[in-house]
Every structure is written in C-alpha cells, then in structure tokens.
Amino acid sequence: MSDQILEVRNLKKYFPTKKGMLHAVDDVSFSIEKGSTMGLVGESGCGKSTVGRLILRLTEATDGEIRFYGEDIRRYDKAKMRHARRKIQIVFQDPYASLDGRKSVFESIAEPLLVQKIYHSKKETEEKVYELMETAGLARRLANSYPHELDGGRRQRVGIARALALNPDFLVLDEPVSALDVSIQAQVLNLMEKLQEKFGLTFLFISHDLSVVKHISDEIAVMYLGKIMEKAPCKELFAKPVHPYTQALLSAVPIPSIDYHVERMVLEGDVPSPIDPAPGCRFAGRCRFCKEKCRQEEPELKEIEKGHFAACHFAGVQ
C-alpha cells in the first residue's frame, strides 16, 4: 500500500478575463506522504494559495486530478465531497477574516461539529469544543469571546481548533503565520508540529517565507507564475538549489550573522503576465542564464538527482 495520502496530477486552473485566459495554476503535479509536510513557496500571485483552494474544491479546477487516498475527489458529488471534507481541512491566512465576527469562540469551533452532525447531544458537543480549545492552547475563559476581542495569535488558534474539530488527516495551511508577529509565529509553528506528531497529521504548508518553510517542511516545491520550478527534500533544496529562481529566492533570505556574506542574486525585470503566457520558460525574462532555447521550449519538471526535480533546460550545469 502506498504511503501517499495526496497526489495532484496535472492540476490546472484558468480564469477567463477580458484580455484572455489567466493561467493561475498550470499543469502542477506533486504528491505528499502521510504524516509529512510539503512546503509550497513562491512570490505573491504565483498560484500557491489557489492550489490549496483547488485541493479542497473551494475553487473548482479547470483540469487535472486530485487523488486523496487514491480516489479522485474531483469526481465526487456534493454529498460525497461533504463527507470527504471531514478528512481534509484548511487553516486560512487571515484569522480575522476567516472567522465570523458574530460568532463566539465556542460557536466558531462548534460549527463544523453541528454542520456534520457529529454528536447528538449538547453535552457531547460542549465537551469536544473545550477539548479542542485545550488542544489549541486556548483558555476555557475565552469560550464566550468574539474575534475582535482576541489578538492575532489567539484568533489563529481558534482557526486551528476549528480545523481539527472533525479529526482530519490532511490540513492545508495557507500562510497561517504571515499575519502574526514573529514571536507569535514561533508559538503557532511549534503548536502545529506538536499537533502533527500527536495526531499523525499531513500538511501542505503554503508560504512566501522560506525561513518559516525550512522550519516545518520535509519537502519543498517552489512555484513561479503557476508552475512548479523546483521540488526537493528540504535540506537538499537549501544546500543545493539548481533552478535560478530558487537560487535567487534563497540568496534573499536574511542571515542573522555579521560575519556571513552571501552574493545576492537580484532579479531584474517584471513578472510577466499570466494571461495567455508566451511559449518557453515562464522565468526566461528574468533569468541571467537564459538562452534562446528557454524562450522557445518550455522545460519539463525532470529529476536531476534522486528526489530532486527542476524545470530548467540547464539545471545543475550553470
């Protein structure tokens, strides 16, 4: 039996616009093993959050397969998908916007239990909510508080408790700490790691912050303009990045040392439009190693070394 809990094959999402088709996600494929964390990183607008929403079918894909435990959930009808969502949940980026301001902490966490009709008595639901609050590090006295009365860290803990309510196996974490202070980020990341170990959870961790992704991920996929540019185990990617875009991203990560110096790879030019993109490599216009072949032929995501993939004609030979 395969250890893969999720497999995404040739996933696409195109949005029609007045100027043409916007290629938000364009032929993305990856798989995640049970109990592991895949980090999905890239610049704002690269399509990483759209991938997360497609997996949960909050947005419907244009094409491709989303296999959860071997079954393509894109083929599920409404009733079957509703049941599947017990095992697939999401923690959103903005904990204030993702919570209903008219619902208390208790009501927000209890909502999925009531919608899915998990318990048949008020007492069972109440006990489960308080258990979830304790698991997420929320004091019981906050049960009747409302989102505007909480700080960002506590709001995000409410979102985490709500996501855990149905005992999921897989969580999409859509930039869950980007709206938080650095000290609170560390607390929430540590909480996620403890929960993963305790419940055997699998994460897709979406972020633009490579230092955060390094802290929590087993494998990392780097996205640019709807495409995966490079994918590798976390340590391998940081030690030996082979795609010019990944190299540029890593060179921009601040190093907390006055004695350590790194050559910054400054990307010139603007990000091209994702509307009806030109043939060739999406990164060609900003790549210092660009050749004529890059502008004419789109590179495939190919294996450079075992478990290390890159979409570049000249990956590893610069």
Distance between CA 283 and CA 305 in Å, rounded? 22
In eight-state DSSP terms, residue 197 is H
Where residue 96 falls among pLDDT bands split at 50, 70, 90? confident
Condensed to tens digits (0 to 9), the pLDDT of residues 176-194 reads 888 788 888 888 899 999 9
> Can you give the pLDDT at residue 315?
79
More confident residue, 30 or 185: 30
Condensed to tens digits (0 to 9), the pLDDT of residues 146-185 reads 999 998 889 999 999 999 999 999 999 999 888 788 888 8
Condensed to tens digits (0 to 9), the pLDDT of residues 240-298 reads 999 999 988 888 666 665 555 566 666 777 778 889 888 899 998 888 888 999 999 99
pLDDT at residue 1 tops 50: no
Identify the three-state secondary structure at position 261. coil
> Can you give the pLDDT at residue 45?
87
Distance between CA 170 and CA 36 in Å, rounded? 10
> Can you give the pLDDT at residue 154?
92
Identify the three-state secondary structure at position 289. coil
Name residue, tokens 């994918």: 231
Q: Give CA separation, 178 vs 93, 143, 261, in Å.
A: 7, 25, 26
pTM score of the predicted model: 0.90
Query: What is the percent of the chain with per-residue pLDDT over 70, rounded to a whole number?
Result: 94
Q: Lowest-pLDDT range, 9-23, 58-72, 127-141, 268-282? A: 268-282
Termini Cα distance of the chain: 40
* For range 77-105, the mean pLDDT: 92
Number of C-alpha atoms within 13 angstroms, CB side, residue 92?
Answer: 13
> Can you give the pLDDT at residue 314?
85
> Can you give the pLDDT at residue 264?
66
Residues 6+ apart with CB under 8 A from 179: 93, 94, 95, 96, 152, 156
Distance between CA 132 and CA 158 in Å, rounded? 9
Closest CA to 66 of 118, 20, 4: 4
pLDDT at residue 317 tops 70: no
Distance between CA 83 and CA 138 in Å, rounded? 28
* For range 215-227, the mean pLDDT: 94
pLDDT at residue 318 tops 60: no
Closest CA to 40 of 312, 301, 307, 231: 231
Inter-residue contact 56 to 88 (CB < 8 Å): yes
Beta partners for residue 230, in sequence order:
222, 310
What dihedral do alpha carbons 154, 168, 67, 197 form, nearest 10°? 80
> Can you give the pLDDT at residue 179?
75
Query: What is the percent of the chain with per-residue pLDDT over 90, rounded to a whole number?
Result: 70
Distance between CA 297 and CA 284 in Å, rounded? 10
